[in-house]
Amino acid sequence: KNEVEQSPQNLTAQEGEFITINCSYSVGISALHWLQQHPGGGIVSLFMLSSGKKKHGRLIATINIQEKHSSLHITASHPRDSAVYICAVEGGTSYGKLTFGQGTILTVHP
Amino acid sequence: ETGVTQSPTHLIKTRGQQVTLRCSSQSGHNTVSWYQQALGQGPQFIFQYYREEENGRGNFPPRFSGLQFPNYSSELNVNALELDDSALYLCASSLDLNTQYFGPGTRLTVL
């Protein structure tokens, strides 16, 4: 079993839909990251969370430390949101060393 | 645009050869981490350098080595290339182990 599990692995949506991507982890962490990767490889850091909730534009990330679970929500999805979304965790004593989930491939159709 | 650059963008090598990949961090960032991402997989942590010293290593053999320089650039060296080394290699820089900023990656193909 991987230390970081994401669901779903693939997600297809119509423009305007509300999207949720889930991440569960099995280790103690100091922080959880949500990252976006477009075709061609470049990775962009969306959020770094250690508790609660963060919002940036149409993106919202939440984390429940007790349940070892985080969600990334996209409101009013748009085709330009199509990308791979990756959850990664930093261990309690391994600052800066990320363990990644396998990613969720999101496709938003117009 | 993260301010982190990597070179080259693409590279083709043959088995047994050696390769050096380069990363230029954001100015002032004293930490760089290197990751290997095989096709269809999430990135795997290779190692991290903090203030020019190795600060942790993932499950990679010694033929993967690195350097970090005072000008915020760094290198990943891989000796005796194997077919399974074909992957996207990502570097990420940060200041004092905070939010990491990723470069665009170098795609290495080993034939």
pLDDT in tens, A34-75: 999 988 778 888 998 989 999 999 999 999 999 999 999 999
A12 touches chain B (CB under 8 A): no
When CB atoms are compared, the residue of A4, A35, A42 closest to B105 is A42
pLDDT of A24 higher than 70: yes
pLDDT in tens, A68-108: 999 999 999 999 999 999 999 987 555 567 889 999 999 99
B91 touches chain A (CB under 8 A): no
Chain B neighbors of A4, CB-CB under 8 A: 42
pLDDT in tens, B27-44: 888 899 999 999 888 889
pLDDT in tens, B40-96: 888 899 999 988 999 889 889 999 999 999 888 999 999 999 999 999 999 999 887
- Residue A93: per-residue pLDDT: 55
d(CA B81, CA B87): 12
- Residue A57: per-residue pLDDT: 95
Tokens of B15: 């088995």
Question: Residue A34 pairs with which residues in a beta bridge?
Answer: A47, A87
Candidates A43, A45, A49, partner chain B, best to mutate (most B CBs within 10 A) = A43
Contacts of residue B103, defined as CB under 8 A and 6 or more positions apart, other chains included, come to A42, B2, B4, B5, B6, B23, B24, B90, B91, B92, B93
- The rounded Cα B59 to chain-centroid distance in angstroms is 14
| Chain pair A-B, CB pairs under 8 angstroms | 61
B34, closest residue in chain A (CA to CA): A97
Q: Compute the CA torsion angle A91, A96, A97, A98 (nearest 10 deg).
A: 80
- In angstroms, the separation between the Cα of residue A29 and the nearest Cα of chain B is 14
